[in-house]
Chains A and B, each alone.
Chain A
Amino acid sequence: MTTFAEAAIEADPTLPIIRITRDFAATPEQLLRAHTDPELFARWVGPDATSTKIDYWDARTGGCWRYVASHDGQEYGFRGTFHEVRPDRIVQTFTFEGEPDGVALETLRFEPLGDGRTRLHAQSLVDSIEGRDAWLRSGMETGVNEGYAKLDRLLADGAA
């Protein structure tokens, strides 16, 4: 059986979608709570050098959220709505306020694997391939020189 001890990413070449799969040593309930409880969420969402301040947060179907991430004295606002919050999935919109026209539709699914383990399926849909590629590039300035991966996940799908 395939496991996703590390995050696996898939950037569909034909659709403006990014998919990430990752396994967690936690129950679906715990994973849901870590995504819906603002205090818990703020503890893991931002990079280490970033502090996340929740502005408002109503993790119910039809609710909305906003948080501000601070990094090097700069503040970045993010906001969206919880379209659907259920034990096994969260559907929400996501906008970076620096680019308010861009809206990602995010679907998170919590798949129970048994034994207190859960597989997270996270999908982000944006409105264009160009916009998706901008997402992939975002934050590249802050990325330390990690070196390039040579041949690639994307090809692995089609050619391996």
Chain B
Amino acid sequence: MFSSTKWLRSVVTDQLSRVFAALADPTRRDIVARLAVGDASVGQLAAPYAMSVQAVSKHLRVLEDSGLVSRGSDTGHRRPVHLEAEVLDLMTGWIERYRRRAEQRYRRLDAVLAAMDETDRTTPDPTTSDRTGTGRTGLTEEGAAP
């Protein structure tokens, strides 16, 4: 499960670390969320914030270095800022898959808990616990007193 090539891992790890670092700041997260709707100029991005265009530009540079956003190559000062959605997907894809694996694990736990519930309900009566004395329930009952 940890067998992906070292090369891919280091490239990807560097980028991921930069992405996480870039998103550590609430203003930058907000900028990314707004760019998810569509490209915008620096001026448009700066408008809702109580900070200078220069300060916003600084945030954009961090986002650019992480690969999360790119600047259009138009001439002039209105180079639109563009969200590189696949970079975000790279990260959120992993988080989502990790989450799904956790969810699958917890669905198996649901089933185990449901089976325990049955056992818990039947154990107070010694005559029924005899009848349900399969290997599985037997082990469950032993586990009651770790």
Note whether A and B form a binding pair: yes
The reply to whether B2 and A140 contact each other, CB–CB distance below 8 Å, is no
A150 to B79, CA, bound (A): 25
CB contact between A137 and one of B12, B29, B106, B140 (< 8 Å): that residue: B12
The reply to whether B109 and A24 contact each other, CB–CB distance below 8 Å, is yes
CB-CB contacts of B1-33 with A at 8 A, as 1s and 0s?
A: 111100001001100110011011010011011
A154 to chain B, nearest CB (A): 7
Report B-chain residues with C-beta under 8 Å of the C-beta of A130: 13, 16-17
A37 to B29, CA, bound (A): 42
Q: Is B100 an interface residue (CB 8 A)?
A: yes
Which A39-74 residues sit within 8 Å CB-CB of chain B?
39-40, 43-45, 47-48, 59-60, 71
Q: How large is the interface on A (under 10, 10 to 19, 20 to 34, 35 or more residues)?
A: 35 or more
Q: Is B78 an interface residue (CB 8 A)?
A: no
In the complex, the chain A residue whose C-beta lies closest to that of B99 is A9
Please count the residue pairs between chain A and chain B whose beta carbons lie under 8 angstroms apart in the complex. 170
CB-CB contacts of B29-47 with A at 8 A, as 1s and 0s?
A: 1101100100000000000
Q: A6-B103, A47-B104, A137-B12 are in contact. Are A146 and B97 (CB under 8 A)?
A: yes
Q: Is A86 an interface residue (CB 8 A)?
A: no
CB-CB contacts of B90-126 with A at 8 A, as 1s and 0s?
A: 0111111111111111101111111011001000000
A40 to B13, CA, bound (A): 36
In the complex, the chain A residue whose C-beta lies closest to that of B120 is A30
Q: Is B146 an interface residue (CB 8 A)?
A: yes
CB contact between A140 and one of B20, B89, B97 (< 8 Å): that residue: B97
Q: How large is the interface on B (under 10, 10 to 19, 20 to 34, 35 or more residues)?
A: 35 or more
Q: A36-B143, A136-B95 are in contact. Are A76 and B113 (CB under 8 A)?
A: no
Q: Is A26 an interface residue (CB 8 A)?
A: yes
Which A99-147 residues sit within 8 Å CB-CB of chain B?
99, 120, 129-130, 133-143, 146
Q: Chain B: residues with CB nearer than 8 A to chain A?
A: 1-4, 9, 12-13, 16-17, 20-21, 23-24, 26, 29-30, 32-33, 36, 85, 88-89, 91-106, 108-114, 116-117, 120, 139-140, 142-144, 146
| A-B pairs, 9 with minimum CB distance | A37-B143, A159-B33, A44-B108, A158-B29, A152-B92, A39-B139, A9-B99, A149-B96, A26-B113
